[in-house]
Amino acid sequence: MYRGYIIVLCVLLGSAPGGSIEAQHFAFQEYGVKDGLAASKVYALCEDQNGKIWLGTVNGISLFDGYRFENYTDADGIAPEGVRTIYQDSNGSVWFGHYEGGITRYSNGVFETVDLPGLRSKGDIYDFQESVSGDFWIASNGLGAIRVKGYDGEANKFEVQQYMGSEGLGDRVFDICVTADGALYFVTDAGLKKLEDDGSFSFYRPGGMTNMFQLTCMLEDSRGMRWFGTHNGGLYKYSPGNTDIEIIDVLDGLAHNFVFCLHEDENGNIWAGTYGGGVSVISPNGHIQTMNSNNGLSDEKIQCLTADRENNVLIGTNDNGMMAFKSFQFTSYPLPDRFAVRKYNAIQPKAGGGIWLATEKGLVSLDEKGGNAIRYGTDEGLGDLNINDIALARDGTLWLGTEFGGLFSFTPATGRFRSHFAINQYITQNKVTDMHSHDGKVLWIGTLDGLLRVDWERESLDRLTQRDGLNGNHISAVSSTREGHLLVGFVGRGAVRITPDSTYTLLSTGTPACFLHDDSGTLWVGMEGQGVYLFENSGEPVHLTRNNGLLSNAVSTIDQDKQGNFWLGSNLGLTRFNKANQHFVHYTQSAGFMGLEVRKRASFSSGNKLWYGTANGLFLNNPALEKPVKEVGLLRITRSLVNGNTAKEKEQLDLKFDQNELAFQFITVSLSDPQSVRYQTFLEGRDQRWSDWTPNRSAEYLGLPEGSYRFHVRARNRWGEEHEISSVSTFVIHPPWYRSTTFYGASGAGLILAFILFVKIRERNLQREKRVLEEKVKERTREVVEKSDELEKKNNDILDSINYAKRIQDAILLPRDQIDDFGYENFVLYRPKDIVSGDFYWFSQLNDQLLFAAADCTGHGVPGAFMSVVGHSLLDKIVVEQGITSPEQILTNLSEGVEKFLRQKENQNLPRDGMDVALVAIKPAESKILFAGAFNPLYLVRDGEVHEFKADRFSVGSYQDDSQKIFTLHEVEFHAGDCIYVFSDGYVDQFGGPDYKKFKSRNFKELLASLYGRNMAEQEGVLRKTLKDWMGNVQQLDDIIVIGMKL
pLDDT at 4: 34
H or E stretch at 785: helix 770-812
Please provide the average confidence, as pLDDT, over all residues in the chain: 87
Has residue 1045 got a pLDDT over 80?
A: yes
Band of pLDDT at residue 723, cut at 50, 70 and 90: low
Question: How many other β-carbons are positioned within 10 Å of the β-carbon of residue 211?
Answer: 11
Calculate what percentage of the chain has a pLDDT beyond 90: 52
- Domain residue spans in the chain? 339-625, 635-734, 740-805, 814-1046
The answer as to CATH 3.40.109.10 being correct for domain 814-1046 is: no
pLDDT at 1: 32
> CATH for 339-625, among 3.40.50.720, 2.130.10.10, 3.90.550.40, 1.10.1740.10?
2.130.10.10
DSSP reduced 3-state for 775: helix
Average pLDDT of span 743-752? 77
Band of pLDDT at residue 961, cut at 50, 70 and 90: low
Has residue 147 got a pLDDT over 80?
A: yes
DSSP reduced 3-state for 1009: helix
Band of pLDDT at residue 724, cut at 50, 70 and 90: low
Calculate what percentage of the chain has a pLDDT beyond 70: 92
Has residue 13 got a pLDDT over 80?
A: no
Model confidence, pTM:
0.64
**Residue 22 is which amino acid?**
E
**Sign, CA torsion 358/360/361/367:** negative
Q: How are beta strands 914-923 and 956-957 bridged, if at all?
A: antiparallel
For residues 398 and 639, which has the higher predicted lDDT (pLDDT)? 398
Give tens-digit pLDDT for 335-378: 777 787 888 899 998 877 888 999 999 999 987 654 688 999 99
pLDDT at 210: 77
Average pLDDT of span 919-948? 94
Give tens-digit pLDDT for 481-490: 999 999 999 9
The number of CA neighbours under 13 Å toward the Cβ of 109 is 2
Band of pLDDT at residue 564, cut at 50, 70 and 90: confident
For residues 912 and 38, which has the higher predicted lDDT (pLDDT)? 38
Top-confidence range, 286-295, 378-387, 630-639:
378-387
Question: How many other β-carbons are positioned within 10 Å of the β-carbon of residue 375?
Answer: 22
Question: How many other β-carbons are positioned within 10 Å of the β-carbon of residue 409?
Answer: 18
pLDDT at 29: 85
The number of CA neighbours under 13 Å toward the Cβ of 309 is 16
Has residue 704 got a pLDDT over 50?
A: yes
Has residue 696 got a pLDDT over 80?
A: yes
Lowest mean pLDDT among 57-66, 148-157, 497-506, 795-804: 148-157
pLDDT at 865: 81
- Give the CA distances from residue 250 to residues 25, 247, 255, in Å, rounded to whole numbers and listed in that order: 22, 10, 6
Average pLDDT of span 519-531? 94
pLDDT at 149: 85
Lowest mean pLDDT among 213-222, 526-535, 660-669, 1022-1031: 660-669
DSSP, residue by residue, 661-710: -EEEEEEE--SS-GGG-EEEEEEETT-SSPPPPBS-SEEEE-SPPSEEEE
Has residue 12 got a pLDDT over 50?
A: no
Give tens-digit pLDDT for 415-450: 999 999 989 999 999 999 999 998 888 999 999 999
Fold of 635-734: Immunoglobulin-like (2.60.40)
Report the distance separating Cα 432 and Cα 389, nearest Å. Answer: 8
Has residue 821 got a pLDDT over 60?
A: yes
DSSP, residue by residue, 109-173: TEEEE---TT-S---EEEEEEE-TTS-EEEEEESS-EEEEES-SSSTTSSEEEEE-GGGTS-SBE
Question: How many other β-carbons are positioned within 10 Å of the β-carbon of residue 197?
Answer: 6
- Give the CA distances from residue 25 to residues 30, 444, 610, in Å, rounded to whole numbers and listed in that order: 15, 36, 16
Has residue 164 got a pLDDT over 90?
A: yes
Torsion angle, CA of 897/899/902/904, rounded to 10 degrees? Answer: -160
**Residue 674 is which amino acid?**
P
Band of pLDDT at residue 864, cut at 50, 70 and 90: confident
Report the distance separating Cα 647 and Cα 363, nearest Å. Answer: 63
pLDDT at 16: 32
For residues 295 and 1019, which has the higher predicted lDDT (pLDDT)? 1019
Has residue 46 got a pLDDT over 90?
A: yes
Please give the DSSP secondary-structure letter assigned to residue 18.
Answer: S
pLDDT at 17: 36
Give tens-digit pLDDT for 609-620: 899 999 888 888
Report the distance separating Cα 85 and Cα 123, nearest Å. Answer: 13
pLDDT at 1014: 92
Lowest mean pLDDT among 51-60, 736-745, 879-888: 736-745
What is the radius of gyration, based on Cα positions, of the chain?
36
- Give the CA distances from residue 357 to residues 341, 348, 398, 991, in Å, rounded to whole numbers and listed in that order: 10, 7, 11, 68
Band of pLDDT at residue 2, cut at 50, 70 and 90: very low
Has residue 154 got a pLDDT over 70?
A: no
Has residue 975 got a pLDDT over 70?
A: yes
Has residue 18 got a pLDDT over 60?
A: no
Please give the DSSP secondary-structure letter assigned to residue 722.
Answer: B
